[in-house]
Structure 1
């Protein structure tokens, strides 16, 4: 089967934050002193120039500024990045442009300028509306600042807003998790990301776990209860931890989960490109540390690695993404995105269906069952040896 070139997105990594959170395993670095905004934007555009041959002539359907804390960057620098990127790549009409935002860095007037720069979707790292939980998570904002920041953004004209919330937090009860959602609903966001706190390797929490983390049973009770509350409030689950009002799913993340393509620029950024002429899938990532990145950007030295995804690895990679989606995937989509015949995954599909983890309809759409969503990792693992 020939590989079909999927939609293309652009990911921009802005690596600095005010303070590193103890649960965070992202490539983020505490900003000390004045940050090199101008120099970093120059580096990003040089990085993009270096990667452009991988995506000549293609249209960008979404842009995502992640971090770190992108809202540390003043609007004029976000504007310069977007102006530079759109001069090099064709942006689709209505291109979704998301910026992650920390309520502790929100300022009056900035949101209007971010909108003027082209940002049309904001993702707020709220995590909780309980001040005690926020302190235990090491966040720099409190609940009042969180609510004020969201309202400022809405007053500035942003109607496509995501709130990130976590559950199973240290010393959190079911009632506290419910209260977090109620306060989120009151702000009427278009989208809510709701996910469990996990102790990731190489984080402060992994080295020294905080007291009072709910056990597995309590965490599952929170998840089930909160899923019901989200549904009642009109937020339909479309991915493991993503809930949206009708038509407000995150286009950028959907492209990831559908095994789409994306250019990744910035320190530690990852990209994935389908090379049609070569019938190959390439993963590329950039070196992590901002200081080294600033020196190397635009040159081969900025590339942390290139990995060609051989055909035998593609089923696992595809399922790692697609089985997170409530709607799953079609067998035709699998063939187009991997360049493989559906027959190569037939034994694993049968096993997953027989186990009750997946269902397949007459049109060839494969979806996780309720049971399958509880055992996503086990279902994905079946495709390791396709």
Structure 2
């Protein structure tokens, strides 16, 4: 099986790289993935893989039925790009100013198509059904595309017993695989606060309520939530990323707006941070005779892997690439829309190492100079394929 799988992956590899580069040249933002979706549909037709559409606008569901009855495994890739202007220099740079695949979703789509091609060639060995989920709008936090796909009946006809997602990971050496039991990525909430005071001349502060002073006290106090209200053994981050206010040097501001994000793993910790955020902001405003408006957006939940299926990924990756290719990794507090699938179905989210050869020049995800090592993509496609096959075998043995 391993030799046969490798042979098919080698066969599809040039087309997989070509697909990735084509998507990279013509990126589409969340909700705009029309041409990306059409390319996926055209490839599925060419591969003789049935599919359904109409999920979250541009989402696609490929369906591969094996020659043997059994359970169902889903594999998911996201499709959308980011509102970033690319600053690389290579032959397939983005042709669209202000749009770039700076998070590797072009590679995710290409790898899933290659995995679909391979699985379809191996249908006689498949015990059950494999679903190929091409998801739009992953970058559109806190709304995302996963929830809308589910609401649109993504799994109405075929319900997965297990689901997997994979993400390129530039901090891992090329071809290595990162997967954890339980926490993999964090919940990603965001908030916006408008602080209202009373403006006036800088020389007559007694006649004003300074919104900048109030905001300053709020922002400083908000940093005590993690250090004084959360157990040090729990993870939480509260960051203020943007602040706007004031008119000129000699005017006391009547309004300030600041925005930030809250990242957690535990739902209990999240609710505690949220509770204290409201208390601090409202009570500080009252103490300084100001007013506030708070907009808190609950974002993606934490990405929590099912230990059993994370273990299956480790086993499959070790068999394919060797145990040294599956190092222990720490979770991160970045958000991921795949979490909404894992809330409903058991499964695991996987990191695929794509670090470029000169690691010192590697830029992180969401950077305008982000690059990845395309030599890792065949390994990613092989891992998705073999993990789906191995999982179906495991599910069959449990019946």
**TM-score (norm. length: structure 2):** 0.27
Q: Which one has a bigger Cα radius of gyration?
A: 2
**TM-score (norm. length: structure 1):** 0.28
Q: Higher relative contact order by CA 8 Å / sep ≥ 6: 1 or 2? A: 2
